[in-house]
Structure 1
Amino acid sequence: MSDGPAGHVARSTFRPYSETRRETSTRTYLRTSDGVRIDSVYDPARLVYESGRPPSRDPVFVIAHGFTGSVDRPHIRRIASEFTRYGAVVTFSFRGHGASGGRSTVGDREVLDLAAAVAWARGLGHTRVVTVGFSMGGSVVLRHAALHGDVDAVVSVSSPARWYYRGTAPMRRLHWLVLRPAGRLVGRYGLRTRIHHRDWDPVPLSPVEAAARIAPVPLLIVHGDSDGYFPLDHPRMLAEAAGDHGELWLEHGMGHAEHASGTELLRRIGDWAVSRAG
């Protein structure tokens, strides 16, 4: 049972924004619409606390990490720090990851976690929200935009286009991790990821179906041509489904997701988001 609405702040050090500045980060637990506690962090934009202007004038980036990630992973903190050049940043751990509650459903009910984070960002005064997802998180930002809306731009990095893909060795290992009891033990104790034992029922909307429903929200699809998880037919399928409102960047030499996203790419994404989310 849920004891609060999506985005409800269960524990917070947050004090409402004045019309001048806020210089400190905030950590809290949010409550999803199905009652899961989500560990979340808000980092103010550098330009807000340097200029003293209110948060509504700049976008907030809500970052959705990949499978086995969490809000405290160094690569997530690095990405958050980079995006504070362009706006405030909300990061969080998906259910079953890090200090969040619940168990991972590997991209299904995680859309509710993202919805809670977006609602929190709106509640802090931001009028423009950009969701940026990596790998599993890349599929979640697509589905969230299609099913929930309430975003001004979407960036999906290294996302699959379709479910149950086993065409690469890393994806075959991931399926073992998710589907086998021994694999879930490895996930729990080795990767700090608690994975739900039940199959999807029903199977959620696929990323490629979601991409077709996002219009007119601007969508950026980013994928590396050296991605070891998902070959290039995945981003091309997403871009084709997105049509005119989507943009595809195929990055030469890039691998998979957060670890492969360097400073130069993140800054180009930040520039794109600021120009599209207006």
Structure 2
Amino acid sequence: MDAGLSLRITGLDRGAQVAGAEWITLRTTRGPLPTILHPAAEPGRAVICVSGALGGFDGPASLYPRLGLEMPRRRGISVLRVGYRAPNEFGECVLDAMAAVSFLKGTGHASAVIIGHSFGGAVAINAGTLTPFITSVVAISSQLGGAHVVGELAPRPLLLIHGTADSVLAHQSSEALYERAREPRTLKLIPGAGHGLVEAAEELFDIVEDWLSRAA
């Protein structure tokens, strides 16, 4: 990410609340950033979810809305799903992740795990190196591009998840990230799963939920 890039939150606009989730647009010095917050009963631990190069809020196999539904109730963990202001513009997307950190700090949260899919895996890895507020990183079907800083994540735990049938980004991408990362690091390969891991949605959720219960 260009070290000269910066972003500051100047306000927020609260939108509709549906099934315990609230649409919140963060007003920033680089434009509006859409988010969906699933708050726990009390602020404390949180999860930040970022998507692939096309943006969106759902993540692989609709993982993110399910985390938003389950984590606050079952684990007392808030979930913030982050849309991008400028999808596929890497530096801007890292700034969006950092804006999410600022928002969570401002709402009384103490720490966060960041989860990213595909392009978002590299976004999550970069954001994880920039602030101690992020205590762990989960990169799902991650690209290598932009993730060269993975060795700087330690001592934050890193979880890499990849399907062995991924035809968009081969699972060797996560294997390479694993080799470049330092401990603590974990690699989970899911046999027969593609880039979006729809074939293994339940297994994906179980892996991530278990990780969050221990790392968030």
What does residue 11 of structure 1 align with? 13
What does residue 65 of structure 1 align with? 51
More strand by share: 2
Q: Secondary structure at the match of 2:208?
A: helix
Judged with a 3 Å threshold, the aligned counterparts in structure 2 of structure 1 residues 214 and 139 are, in CA distance, closer, same or farther, namely same
Q: Secondary structure at the match of 1:108?
A: helix
Unaligned runs of 5+ in 1: 15-22, 49-53, 96-102, 163-205
TM-score, structure 1 as length reference: 0.66
Letter in 2 for 1:43: H
What does residue 77 of structure 1 align with? 65
Unaligned runs of 5+ in 2: 1-6
* Deviations, residues 194-227 of structure 1 (Å, cap 9, x unaligned): xxxxxxxxxxxx21x2211111111111111011
Judged with a 3 Å threshold, the aligned counterparts in structure 2 of structure 1 residues 148 and 79 are, in CA distance, closer, same or farther, namely same
Residues 33-52 of structure 1 aligned to structure 2 (within 5 Å): 34-45=29-40, 48=41
Tell me, in whole angstroms, the C-alpha distance in 2 between the residues paired with 1:94 and 1:36: 10
The aligned length equals 205
Tell me, in whole angstroms, the C-alpha distance in 1 between the residues paired with 2:187 and 2:51: 20
The alignment status of 1:55 with 2:43, answered yes or no, reads: yes
Tell me, in whole angstroms, the C-alpha distance in 2 between the residues paired with 1:159 and 1:60: 21
Judged with a 3 Å threshold, the aligned counterparts in structure 2 of structure 1 residues 82 and 224 are, in CA distance, closer, same or farther, namely farther
Higher-Rg member (1/2): 1
* Deviations, residues 113-166 of structure 1 (Å, cap 9, x unaligned): 11111221222222121111111111100011123442011100001113xxxx
Question: In angstroms, what is the RMSD of aligned CA positions?
Answer: 2.6
Percent identity between matched residues is: 27
Contact 1:225 1:255 in 2 (8 A): yes
Judged with a 3 Å threshold, the aligned counterparts in structure 2 of structure 1 residues 260 and 135 are, in CA distance, closer, same or farther, namely farther
Q: Which of 25, 37, 55 is the aligned partner of 2:21? A: 25
Superposition deviation, residue 8 in structure 1:
4.1
Judged with a 3 Å threshold, the aligned counterparts in structure 2 of structure 1 residues 130 and 220 are, in CA distance, closer, same or farther, namely same
Residues 48-197 of structure 1 aligned to structure 2 (within 5 Å): 48=41, 54-56=42-44, 59-71=45-57, 75=62, 76-84=64-72, 85-86=74-75, 87-95=77-85, 103-162=86-145
